[in-house]
Amino acid sequence: MKSFDSRAYSINDFVEWESQKALELNPRFQRRSVWSPNAKSYLMDTILRGKPMPKIFIRQKINVTTKTSIREVVDGQQRLRTILSFIKDGFTVSKRHHPEYGGVLFSNLPPEVQAQLLSYEVAVDLLINLPDAEILDIFGRLNSYAIVLNEQERINANHFSSFKVTADIIGRKYSDYWVRQGIMSPRDVVRMQEVNLVADLLIAMREGIQPKKRIKAYYDIYEKEGAYEDDVQEVTRKFDAIISMIGTLYPEGIAESEFSRNHVFYSLFTAVAHCFFGLKDSTDKRVALWSTAAVQSARTGLDRVEEMFEIAGSDVTKLTPSEREFIQDSRRATTDGPVRKRRTTFLLGLMG
């Protein structure tokens, strides 16, 4: 027998229930975690933009004597606390999340925006008069079917800074590009590996080449207030310029080349980034890619990479020591900081 009912309630319904003391946000089995200001801002930005949020689970207890209902929030209390606090002018959305309405209290928003927000519908699974044991069994079953999150999915679930938003936006913007160029599979994109790659590249553009294992550390650093104030449009413009130059160097695409390998693409990207903007702490010579002749010369040099891998497959002794080192750096410890720096330096040498 079905033990739940799926419904949609407006935010205004929750406001009314709270004012009538018909909403219980502290049932004994609910988690007590407290959201950061960034997390609260990101949720309200989601709602202001009319995008969906995860469903909420509520147990409705009916008192047959008084003919009243009490709604206990089984899962989603932090989301509802955040929404209700915003409605009461408890905080504002960050300008980094919403440039138009950031810093504006709910009561000062345009009336039509207030109305849209109050009308926003929240998906709810309603559990009617179920005992605690039944509710715990339901959540045990839900968790049994849940996909284990990978590292990037865990990062995205717990970070809300402007850096996170920028990496998400650029990752999605180029989702077709990553697949078309053979850098990752459609499933990789579904599991947010394109965001992981973009975050890695953005960190290199800002901090210089870093080991991949430092991605989460930088997400944590940038989460702190004031730690990442870079202009999203400017960062995106620079990223676009680098991708565009890679397209100019390889008008036929890189899908059939060694540069379609994730870690080798990283080094091609950082090499071009250094030519355009300079990488922090790098002493490598910057190649001027401002003329057709310079681009053609750089492409001719980069073509050696394909030759190197082909030669390495039969007789690695025919390669120079630096070429052998590049091949080795493309096969072992490929995401370590020093290895990444050596690969970038080698490619810049070919280009210039």
Domain residue spans in the chain?
A: 5-146, 152-351
The span from the CA of 244 to the CA of 173, in Å, is 13
Residue 44 has pLDDT above 60, yes or no: yes
Beta-carbon contacts of 170 under 8 Å, excluding residues fewer than 6 positions away, are 198, 202, 235, 236, 239
Q: Which helix (H) or strand (E) holds 210?
A: none
Virtual CA dihedral for 188, 193, 194, 197, nearest 10 degrees? -140
Residue in the block written with tokens 């590996």: 193
pTM: 0.83
Partners of 63 in the β-ladder: 68
| DSSP letter assigned to residue 42 | H
Compute the C-alpha angle 329/282/229, nearest 5°.
110
C-alpha distance from residue 242 to each of 114, 222, 264, 276, 349 (Å): 41, 23, 15, 8, 18
Residue in 86, 76, 97, 1 with CA at minimum distance from that of residue 33: 76
Residue 209 has pLDDT above 70, yes or no: yes
Residue 134 has pLDDT above 90, yes or no: no
Residue 221 has pLDDT above 90, yes or no: yes
CB atoms within 10 A of CB 279: 23
pLDDT in tens, 223-243: 988 899 899 999 999 999 999
Residue 32 has pLDDT above 60, yes or no: no
Partners of 61 in the β-ladder: 70
Residue 305 corresponds to which tokens in the numbers above?
Answer: 């990479």
> What's the pLDDT score for residue 2?
61
